[in-house]
Amino acid sequence: MATVEQGLASQLRNIETTYGRSIDEWIAVIEASGLTRHGDIVRMLKVDHGLTHGAANRVALVAIDALHPASAASDPETSLYTGDRRALLPIHARLMAILNAFGDDVEVAPKKGYLSLRRRKQFAMIKPAAKHVDLGLILAERANEGRLESAATFNALFTHRVRVRSAAEVDDELIAWMRDAYEEAG
């Protein structure tokens, strides 16, 4: 399995190939725009340059880190996995890789302590816990079964929660639940 760093490097190479500019050129475009807020940069890259949301999000994060090194901790994904929780990053990376494979319309909205995942509406959340990653899903009329628990005591915005303790637990069953939530939100 690839590391998080290898996955990010691959994503950046794909962005360079798809959009015909190096990451350094994208950083120069962002610097010339004068924009500094993540959301503003993402919007500009999407509207003015035609990047997908996922590509614009990653380029914005890389540019902010390059242009403002002191704000490197502002990467919402990295900031969730500090200290002992860094060991959970492979789980997060695997979940995000699956979600991004569904389509380029997955919007990642950082919240305090977790990431909200949206299409036309929110369909999932990823939240690191002490020894596992909680995946909240919105699955209409789906019964609780096995590791697909009720989210009633976890987060009222979601119908179900899955506690993911290793990247290997992101199996076909979990991927199917994730896809169902993604499709229902579209």
**pLDDT tens digits in sequence order for the chain, 186 residues long:** 456 577 778 888 999 999 999 999 999 999 999 998 888 999 999 999 999 998 998 899 888 888 876 544 456 677 788 888 888 989 998 999 899 889 888 888 888 889 999 998 999 999 999 999 999 999 988 999 999 999 999 888 999 999 999 999 999 999 999 999 999 998
Q: Within 13 A of 72's CA, how many CA atoms are on the CB side?
A: 4
Domain that holds residue 37: 4-74
- Give the pTM: 0.62
Looking at the structure of the chain, the number of domains it has is: 2
State how far the Cα of 165 lies from the Cα of 152, in Å rounded to an integer.
Answer: 20
pLDDT at 69: 64
- Do 138 and 164 lie in a common domain? yes
- Do 13 and 30 lie in a common domain? yes
- Do 19 and 93 lie in a common domain? no
- Do 52 and 102 lie in a common domain? no
- Give 67-105 pLDDT, tens digit per residue: 876 544 456 677 788 888 888 989 998 999 899 889 888
State how far the Cα of 41 lies from the Cα of 97, in Å rounded to an integer.
Answer: 23
Joined together, the tokens standing for residue 101 give 């494979």
- Final residue of a structural domain among 74, 95, 127: 74
Instruction: DSSP letter for 69, please.
Output: G
- Do 119 and 138 lie in a common domain? yes
What 3-state class would DSSP assign to 40?
Answer: helix
Instruction: DSSP letter for 107, please.
Output: E
- Do 25 and 68 lie in a common domain? yes
pLDDT at 72: 43
